[in-house]
Chains A and B, each alone.
Chain A
C-alpha cells in the first residue's frame, strides 16, 4: 500500500533490549562504585540516566509494568542526586536490588511474559517510603497538569529550545508529542512550529519527521529537567539547542510559517552539551570555547549484528585457507626464478594475517563486562560469610573474544566464591595469625604472548594439601602410597565431585564447581592452573586464547595422515635415542628426558594408522603439555611446519570425535584434524588400563 508497509517495530524492540542490557550493566557497575564509596555525583547522575533511558524506551513500547517500576526507582535516584535523601549503605543496597528488579522487568518484557503481580513489591514499597510516597506510577505523572512551582523553589527562568527532529526520528519510537507534553509539565511553554519542510501529500512518507519547533519555556525547574525530556533523542536522532535567557530574547515577534530557525538571540549562557550542532556553534559568540562533548553528534561506534561479524570472520578464514593454498602451489618457486610472485605472496600473507587480526578484534570485548559482577559478588558473600574482604581489580580493559567472555562468566563467579568461602579466613582467624582482619582478592587480566591471562588471587589460608590428599584417597582419586607433587595435589580440586568443604554451603556449592570451572575453560581452548602457599594464599591462573576462530598450529605427519597440534601445547620436539625410549611394566612406553619420565603415546596406535613409523628412534616425539600441566610425548613421523589454521567445528559439521578438538582445511584442500592433547592423554591412560 505504501512505503510504510515494511515498517516493523520488532527491530526497534531488539535494539531497545540490547541497550537495556548495556544500561543495566552500566548501572550495576556504577552503583557498585557508589557502594564502595569511590563514586561521585556524576555516578549518581549516570545511574539516573540509565534508569531514565530504560523507562523512556519502555514507554514507547507500552511496557507499563516496566515503566511504573522504573519511574519509582528513577524518582528515588532523583532524590538521591538532589541530596534530599542521603546515600547510606542501606540506600545503596536498595539501589542494587532495585536495579535487579528492573532487570527482571526488562527480561520479562523481552520474553513477552508477565512477572508475578507482587514481583519487586518489597523494593517498590521501600522506594516509595523513601520518596515519601510520591509519584508511585507514571500515569498520574503524565496526567498531572503543569503545576505551579512551590513557594520555596528557585526563581523561574526562561529557556529557548530549538528542536529539529532527524527525518527518521519517528521510526525510533520517539514522538515529539510526548516530549512537548512532558516539557509543558515543567512550566509555561509556548511553541512556534516550522512547517516549511512539509511536502505535498503525495510525496509524503508518513513515518518521516517534517515539522520542527522553537519553544520558550518559563520554568523553575533546572536545565537538567529539560535535558531529561530530550535525553532519548539527543545526538543523531534530533538537533536540539537549548539556551537560557530572558523572555525578551525569545522570538522575534510571532514567527511566520517557514521562519523556524535563526530566530534566537545569541545564546547568553551555553549550548546543549549533549547535542552540539552546526547551528549551535554558529550561534556561539566568537571566542567561546567549544561546547563540552562537541563531537557527540559523530558517533564513535555503530551496532552490528553478531551474525554479520561471524560471516566476516568465516570469510576471512576462507581467505586464510586460500592464501595457504597459494603458498603451497608456489612452494616450488624460488625468489630467483619468480621474484614478483614470491614477493606478492609474502605481501598477501602479511595482509591476510593483519586482516584476520583486525577482524578478530571486532569480536573482542574488554573483560570489564566480566569483572563488573565481581564487586557485588564479593560484597554480598563477604556479608553472608561475616568476612571482611577487599576486591582489587586490574586490567579490566584487556580485550578478549566475546564467546570467551560469555563462557568465562560462571567459572569466574565460582572461583571468586571459592576464594571467599574456602580461601579468606574470618577476621578473628586472620588476626590470630598476624594478618590484617580484611582479606584481599585480586582479580586481574593481562595480555601476554598472544593469550589472555586472568588471575584470581587471595591472601587467605591457601589449599590445605593434607585435607585434599585425604579426601582424594577417600574418593579413590589417588592410590594409597602414590607420590604426588604439591602441584599435582592442588590440581586434585578440579577432579569431578571433589569437595573438601566440611559442610555444603550455599556459597560454594556441592563440589561440582571446580570440575565445571575447568571444563568451561577448556571448552574455549583455555587452561587453568593453581598456585597455592599454605597460610599465604592461592592464585588461580586462567590462560585463554584471544580468539576461537584461528590458531597457530604445528602440522605433523603420521603415516598418510596429517594432524595439527596447537602450538600452545607444544613444549619441545626431539628424536629420542634408544637409551631414552624404554618400555616399563604397567606404565607402557616412556621417554627419559633430563631425569624425568614422560609417557610416550604413538598417534598411529591411537588412531589405527597404517604405514606409520613405530620406532621412536626413527620418528619424532613431540612433548606436549596438557591443561593440567601433565606432559606426554606424541610419536609422529615428521613435523611438516608451523602454520596458522582456521578452526572448523567437528561437532557442528560432523560429530564429536574423541581425541580431536576440531578440524581445519589445509592449503592443498585436504582436511586435517586438530588434536585435543588432554583427551589424547586420557585415551592413552584408558588404553593402558585396558591392557
Chain B
C-alpha cells in the first residue's frame, strides 16, 4: 500500500483483505497522509476490498476525525458490498455515509 497523489488528492488503494496487519499499515499511511503539509483530502479506494475487519474500520473512524480537525476530509470511494455490509453490521452505516458523502 502507498499514498498516490492524484489530481490534488492523496489516494490510498486498499488491498483485498483488510485484516489486523493491514489495519496497522493503513493506520501508518493515514498518519503520514494527515501529517503532510497540504490541504489535500485523503481518499480510501475500496475497489479491491473483499473483506474488512473491525480493526480497519476503527482506523478509518479515527482518521476521519483527525483529518476533520485539520479541516480536511477522509473519503471512501469504489466501496464494495462487503465493506457496506461490514459498516452496517457494526452499526456504523452513518459513518460510512459520511465518508461517501462528497
* A interface residues with partner B (beta carbon < 8 Å): 1-5, 7, 170-171, 175-177, 180-181, 184, 190-193, 195, 198-202, 204, 206-207, 209-211, 213, 215
Tell me whether B90 and A193 are in contact (CB under 8 A): yes
Q: Are B24 and A206 in contact (CB under 8 A)?
A: yes
Please give, as numbers and ranges, the residues of chain A lying within 8 Å of B65 by CB-CB distance.
198, 200-201
The 8 A CB mask of B18-32 against A (1 = contact, 0 = none) is 001101111110110
**Given A184-B89, A193-B90, A206-B59, does the pair A176, B54 have CB atoms closer than 8 Å?**
yes
Interface pair B90/A170, CB less than 8 Å apart? no
CA distance A17 to B20 in the complex (A): 21
Most buried by B among A1, A3, A170, A201: A201
Q: Could you give, for residues 65-91 of chain B, a 1 whenever the CB lies within 8 Å of some chain A CB and a 0 otherwise? A: 110000000000000000001100111
Q: Which chain B residue lies CB-closest to A203?
A: B62
CB-CB nearest 9 A-B residue pairs: A191-B91, A4-B24, A201-B66, A206-B23, A201-B62, A206-B24, A206-B27, A2-B24, A193-B91
B92 interface residue per 8 A CB criterion: yes
A204 CA / B57 CA spacing, docked (Å): 12
Kindly list chain A residues whose C-beta atoms are within 8 Å of the C-beta of B10.
Answer: none
Q: Write 13 A-B pairs (CB below 8 A) sorted by A numbering.
A: A4-B20, A177-B52, A177-B54, A177-B89, A181-B89, A190-B91, A201-B62, A202-B31, A206-B58, A207-B24, A209-B54, A211-B58, A213-B90
CA distance A210 to B92 in the complex (A): 14
Q: Which of A5, A202, A211 contacts B54 (CB 8 A)?
A: A211
Size class of the B contact interface (CB-based, 8 Å): 20 to 34
Given A177-B86, A180-B90; A4-B21 close (CB under 8 Å): yes
The CA of A175 and the CA of B54, in the complex, are separated in Å by 6
Binding site for A on B (CB under 8 A): 20-21, 23-28, 30-31, 34, 52-59, 61-63, 65-66, 85-86, 89-92
Interface residue from B27, B89, B91 paired with A204 (Cβ < 8 Å): B27
Q: Smallest CB-CB separation from B67: which chain A residue?
A: A201
Also in contact, A171 and B20, with CB within 8 A (given A193-B92, A204-B58): yes
Rounded to whole angstroms, the CA-CA distance of A226 and B14 in the bound complex is 34
Measured between beta carbons, the chain B residues less than 8 angstroms from A171 are 20
Task: Report how far A184 CA is from B61 CA in the complex, Å.
Answer: 23
Other 13 A-B pairs with CB < 8 A, given A207-B55, A211-B54, A215-B91: A1-B24, A2-B28, A4-B23, A5-B24, A170-B53, A177-B89, A181-B89, A201-B59, A201-B65, A206-B20, A206-B24, A207-B20, A209-B58
Q: Which of A191, A195, A202 contacts B61 (CB 8 A)?
A: A195
Chain A contacts for B27, CB-based, 8 A: 2, 201, 204, 206
- Whether A177 touches B63, Cβ cut-off 8 Å, given contacts A1-B24, A206-B58, is no
Chain A residue nearest to B51 (CB atoms) is A177
A1, A4, A200, A211: which contacts B90 (Cβ < 8 A)? A211
Q: Are A180 and B20 in contact (CB under 8 A)?
A: no
Q: Which A residues are in CB contact (< 8 Å) with B58?
A: 198, 204, 206, 209-211
- The residues of B that contact A180 with a CB separation of less than 8 Å are 89-91
Partner of B53, one of A7, A177, A192, A199: A177
Chain B residue contacts of A202, Cβ below 8 A: 31, 66
User: Across the interface, do A201 and B30 meet the contact criterion of CB distance under 8 Å?
Assistant: yes
